[in-house]
Chains A and B, each alone.
Chain A
Amino acid sequence: MTLEATLKRGNWFSRLANPGRFLAWSKGFVWPLAALTALLFAVGLYLALVASPADYQMGQTVRIMYIHVPNAWLSQFVYAVMAIASIGTLVWRHPLADVAAKSAAPLGATFTGLALFSGSLWGRPTWGTFWEWDGRMTSTLILFLIYLGIVALWRAFDDQGRAARIIAVFTLVGALDIPVVKFSVDWWNTLHQPASVFTMSGEHMPPAMLIPLLVMTLAFTLLFITLHLVRMRTEILRRRAETLERQAAASLAA
């Protein structure tokens, strides 16, 4: 479809596939999203650190949960975003799907690393150890290594277009680890706490702790969305700069 035909007959999503239109459309979102993220963090941190009760077993250290759980949830959510973007690249050849996947990879790696770090700090006072090779921690460490491998892969390719499709294949293969991470606490006899927020028999957590947890999770998710949007815009601009550099070099040679 030509650009004019797409503008006339295409839907909103296919109009956005044009990088220039995406840049123009997304420009207005960046600062409002950032402000909303900051607001949610302010509210969430107040609720988590001040207004919520201490745990009857763990005491004040339970407050690490409000950092650890959102990061852990995001580590899986970001991989799901990358997997969907990879399907977009392979199946629908969406022009911005590879930009989305490339931008999400370092963010996912960071959130996974923070989940491992905050969980490790939480484990020392509660379990007595910084690390234990149980199902949840091992599979999350594997997920962290997969993220880092994908980041390394993006940096290794010269041709980003070909890189996009090949890395999409590998991302989908690595997506097999996500169900393992999610269900590892059910499948194995692990040290890590089993699922307590969304379980088959309803929620176990009292609202005084559930509300701050949900607010912090929303705050972290919005943080990811804001950073992801900024990274996508930066990546599009970087590719434009590279094209201009190449054109300048070619005209110099001519």
Chain B
Amino acid sequence: MTAFLAVILRDLKLATRVGGDALTLVLFFVMVGVIVPFAIGPDSATLSRLAPGIIWIAAFLSMLLGLDRLFRADDEDGSLVLFRHAALPLEAIVAAKVIAHWLLTALPLLVASPLLAVLLGMDLASWGRTVLSLLLGTPGLVALGTIGAAVTVSLRRGGLIAPVLILPLSIPILIFGTGAIAAAGAAGSSAAALLFLAAISLVTLALAPFAAALALRLAED
């Protein structure tokens, strides 16, 4: 357990230090939300109707673009070799990195979501559903992204391939995530979408560390 927590703390410390990029992804998330009204016009009715989708696309993009930092730095400084031969199983280490990555990328998104909700003209109830759907959906997204990051870790210029690989597989999360925010009237459908979202997240959280660890082992020289 100590080793597990140590891996999480290491990632958190590295990211929040001077050379870390913890804030950059949050800024990207907010900026996507800022530029969309410039693109589709400031009409508040349209914006508030499209707001769930915009917030989820912004979350998607910032999480997918941040995937590279999962294993790249460890591969470059040799920590990945240590992880492969550590006493703690590689699957557990990947799970610890999933938790750390979620804390560093998804939690700031949740904290910044009120700002985005105000910019896009969402009301309080919609924002509440947004937070819930992001809370349930982002763990699955991070876990799925770990597979993409592990598959592309040995590619020197493979930074953009991981999002391309993971995007088709994470479309169900996007569908249920936006479905959970929509339709205040059809409360039943919102609950069903949230349940599906939770189910997808739980299954990916359980299975992704095994696939990612296998890919990391195969990437050994």
Question: What residues of chain A have their CB less than 8 Å away from a CB belonging to chain B?
Answer: 138, 142-143, 145-146, 149, 152-153, 156-157, 159, 162, 165-167, 169-170, 172-174, 176-177
Q: How far is the CA of A142 from the CA of B168 in the complex (A)?
A: 5
B100 CB-CB contact with A under 8 Å = no
Is the beta-carbon distance between A169 and B214 smaller than 8 angstroms? yes
Is the beta-carbon distance between B168 and A153 smaller than 8 angstroms? no
Which of B147, B154, B155, B171 sits near A170, CB closer than 8 Å?
B147
Whether A170 touches B215, Cβ cut-off 8 Å, given contacts A153-B151, A156-B158, A157-B155, is yes
Q: Show 9 residue pairs from A and B whose CB-CB distance is below 8 angstroms, ordered by the A residue.
A: A142-B169, A146-B168, A149-B164, A156-B152, A157-B155, A162-B219, A170-B215, A172-B211, A176-B169
Whether A166 touches B218, Cβ cut-off 8 Å, given contacts A152-B161, A153-B161, A156-B158, is yes
Q: How far is the CA of A227 from the CA of B154 in the complex (A)?
A: 31
Q: In the assembled complex, which residues on chain A have CB atoms less than 8 Å from the CB atom of B157?
A: 156
Q: In the assembled complex, which residues on chain B have CB atoms less than 8 Å from the CB atom of A145?
A: 167-168
A142 to chain B, nearest CB (A): 5
Is the beta-carbon distance between B158 and A173 smaller than 8 angstroms? no
Is the beta-carbon distance between A170 and B218 smaller than 8 angstroms? no
What is the chain A residue whose CB lies nearest that of B214? A169
Q: How far is the CA of A143 from the CA of B171 in the complex (A)?
A: 11
B10 to chain A, nearest CB (A): 25
Q: In the assembled complex, which residues on chain A have CB atoms less than 8 Å from the CB atom of B147?
A: 169-170, 173
Is the beta-carbon distance between B155 and A169 smaller than 8 angstroms? no
Q: How far is the CA of A170 from the CA of B144 in the complex (A)?
A: 11
Question: What residues of chain B have their CB less than 8 Å away from a CB belonging to chain A?
Answer: 147, 151-152, 154-155, 157-158, 161, 164-165, 167-169, 171, 211, 214-215, 218-219
Is the beta-carbon distance between A166 and B151 smaller than 8 angstroms? yes
Whether A173 touches B168, Cβ cut-off 8 Å, given contacts A153-B151, A162-B154, A166-B218, is no
Q: In the assembled complex, which residues on chain B have CB atoms less than 8 Å from the CB atom of A157?
A: 154-155
Q: In the assembled complex, which residues on chain A have CB atoms less than 8 Å from the CB atom of B155?
A: 156-157
What is the chain A residue whose CB lies nearest that of B154? A162
Q: How far is the CA of A123 from the CA of B219 in the complex (A)?
A: 44
Is the beta-carbon distance between A177 and B168 smaller than 8 angstroms? yes
Q: In the assembled complex, which residues on chain B have CB atoms less than 8 Å from the CB atom of A162?
A: 154, 218-219
A226 to chain B, nearest CB (A): 29
Q: How far is the CA of A161 from the CA of B48 in the complex (A)?
A: 50
Q: How far is the CA of A86 from the CA of B94 in the complex (A)?
A: 23
What is the chain A residue whose CB lies nearest that of B215? A169
Q: How far is the CA of A165 from the CA of B135 in the complex (A)?
A: 34
Q: In the assembled complex, which residues on chain B have CB atoms less than 8 Å from the CB atom of A174?
A: 168-169
Q: How far is the CA of A170 from the CA of B214 in the complex (A)?
A: 10
Q: In the assembled complex, which residues on chain A have CB atoms less than 8 Å from the CB atom of B167?
A: 145
Q: In the assembled complex, which residues on chain A have CB atoms less than 8 Å from the CB atom of B211?
A: 169, 172-173
Q: In the assembled complex, which residues on chain A have CB atoms less than 8 Å from the CB atom of B152?
A: 153, 156
A91 to chain B, nearest CB (A): 12
Which of A143, A152, A159, A176 sits near B164, CB closer than 8 Å?
A152
What is the chain A residue whose CB lies nearest that of B155? A156
A140 to chain B, nearest CB (A): 11
Q: How far is the CA of A157 from the CA of B154 in the complex (A)?
A: 8
Q: How far is the CA of A76 from the CA of B115 in the complex (A)?
A: 44
Q: In the assembled complex, which residues on chain A have CB atoms less than 8 Å from the CB atom of B168?
A: 142-143, 145-146, 149, 174, 177
Q: How far is the CA of A162 from the CA of B167 in the complex (A)?
A: 23
Q: How far is the CA of A35 from the CA of B151 in the complex (A)?
A: 40
B206 to chain A, nearest CB (A): 14
Q: In the assembled complex, which residues on chain A have CB atoms less than 8 Å from the CB atom of B169?
A: 142, 146, 173-174, 176-177
B63 to chain A, nearest CB (A): 17
B123 to chain A, nearest CB (A): 27
